[in-house]
Structure 1
Amino acid sequence: MFNFTPVVRLLLFANVIIFLITSSAGDWVVDRFGLHSVLSNLFNPIQLITHMFMHGSWGHIFSNMIGLIVFGPMLERVWGGPRFFLFYMLTGLGAAALYLGVNYYETASMVDAYHLYAVHPTNSEFVGFISEYASSVYDNIAPFIQKFDADPTNPAYIKQGQAFLEAMVSRQVDTPMVGASGAIFGVIMAFGLLFPNTELILLFPPIPIKAKYLVLFYGAYEVYSGIYQAQSDNVAHFAHIGGMLFAYILVKLWGSQRKTFY
């Protein structure tokens, strides 16, 4: 059914084997090798590479590897194995770079605000922090806010408020990103650029669609989700955007190496 090319086969094997190893090794592996924010004490430059070969679940790795084996072989035949591997790694790194940049932009002000709050942990400062950075949880903690407001000097409430915000900031800064999705979205983008009129059959619904329209749909969806916050879905949308963006740049720099598109 699938005609694997050498590099695609190697990447598939590496991703599956590493997933099997890491999924049974415990959370410490993800903490060490998943990609952390540059604001985190857990950040290590090696994570820029290692996170690309780790996945969070069977569904996660399955969807990524399907993308690799469907779209990757054609690109490898066009470019050859070494260039395809370089493309895969560069788009994965580009995805990580954009993700880290956006994460820093969104998180640095939150970390600074928390440090200011820790100096003056008043109820008004607590409410201001929640309103600015976590408005979605306001209703859930409204009873605590009311009690804190009624007794603002209560040490127990002050301590509870600090602990709540510290945990919130820690989740934002120390939660790692894993997966090959950035590189896979780069592969999909490149396929759409090199073979824009190739017809593909979607799984759901099972209808034909040209590659260029599939890429356009993916790109629009990721931009929308990234801007209008799909944080609750635990998907690194800006990493996907980064992979597609760097793929576009690389394809344009390298040229299509084809005169005929299909």
Structure 2
Amino acid sequence: MPIDFPPVTRTLLIANVAIFLLQQVFPDPMLIYFALWPLGSIDLQQGGSIGFEIWQLVTYGFLHGGWDHLLFNMLALWMFGGAIENLFGSRPFAFYYLACVVGAAIAQLMVIHLITGDYYPTLGASGGVFGLLLAFGMMFPHQRIMLLFPPIPMPAWVFVTGYGLIELFLGVTGSQEG
């Protein structure tokens, strides 16, 4: 029996995988033109420059840094996206997901500009995924989620809070770049 995903969740899963496969064929152009670059630009040694473009506020959310990055983001999209799309409806879900991707991009640009001053690209669906985690934790706080390692069941609100705190710690301490 086939698994029936809601349409936007299914489309996002397919789009992320397809674009990741394109990245494998055209790695440099995909990174240069579609990753989220900090405000401003830098000159390349071989001529030309790279820098922020407005479309990158969305396109970075469909690029990934490797198979594991793609796998974990798509696992979370698969686990939580369908439930949130069924609750919100397809059109509000699509708007919410894209608003989370754009909101995360703006937050990333602010952090890079105001705190680190570094110049590196950002990519991945994590902004949208964290929005889904937040929505799931708020809408289904007592839903049980089973961790893989170690196999411990916990309420969704505990999982979402713990995951968010771990990511915040890793980001603030520089333990996890990007």
Q: Deviations over 1:149-177 (max 9, x none)?
A: xxxxxxxxxxxxxxxxxxxxxxx31x211
Whether contact under 8 Å (1:89, 1:183) holds in the other structure is: yes
Q: How far apart, in 2, do the equivalents of 1:72 and 1:27 lie?
A: 30
**Which structure 2 residues correspond to residues 1-262 of structure 1 after superposition, within 5 A?**
3-41=4-42, 42-108=51-117, 172-173=118-119, 175-230=120-175, 233-234=176-177, 236=178
Deviation at 1:222, TM superposition (A): 2.1
Q: Which runs of 5+ in 1 are unaligned?
A: 109-171, 237-262
Matching residue's letter, 1:35 = L
Q: How far apart, in 1, do the equivalents of 2:64 and 2:92 lie?
A: 24
Q: Identity over the aligned pairs, expressed in percent?
A: 38
Q: How far apart, in 1, do the equivalents of 2:100 and 2:4 lie?
A: 23
Matching residue's letter, 2:165 = A
Matching residue's letter, 1:23 = Q
- Computing the radius of gyration from Cα coordinates, the structure with the larger value is 1
Q: Deviations over 1:74-120 (max 9, x none)?
A: 11111100000000000011101111001001244xxxxxxxxxxxx
More helix by share: 1
More strand by share: 2
Deviation at 1:2, TM superposition (A): 5.2
How many pairs align?
Answer: 169
Q: How far apart, in 1, do the equivalents of 2:17 and 2:172 lie?
A: 32
Whether contact under 8 Å (1:33, 1:51) holds in the other structure is: yes
Highest RCO, 1 vs 2 (Cα 8 Å, sep ≥ 6):
1
Whether contact under 8 Å (1:39, 1:104) holds in the other structure is: no
The alignment's C-alpha RMSD in Å is 1.5
The secondary structure found in structure 1 opposite 2:101 is: helix
Deviation at 1:4, TM superposition (A): 1.4
The secondary structure found in structure 1 opposite 2:145 is: strand
What is the TM-score when the length of structure 2 is the normalising length?
0.89
Q: How far apart, in 2, do the equivalents of 1:183 and 1:46 lie?
A: 16
What is the TM-score when the length of structure 1 is the normalising length?
0.62
Whether contact under 8 Å (1:71, 1:191) holds in the other structure is: yes
Q: Which runs of 5+ in 2 are unaligned?
A: 43-50
Deviation at 1:44, TM superposition (A): 0.8
Deviation at 1:40, TM superposition (A): 2.8
Q: How far apart, in 2, do the equivalents of 1:19 and 1:223 lie?
A: 26
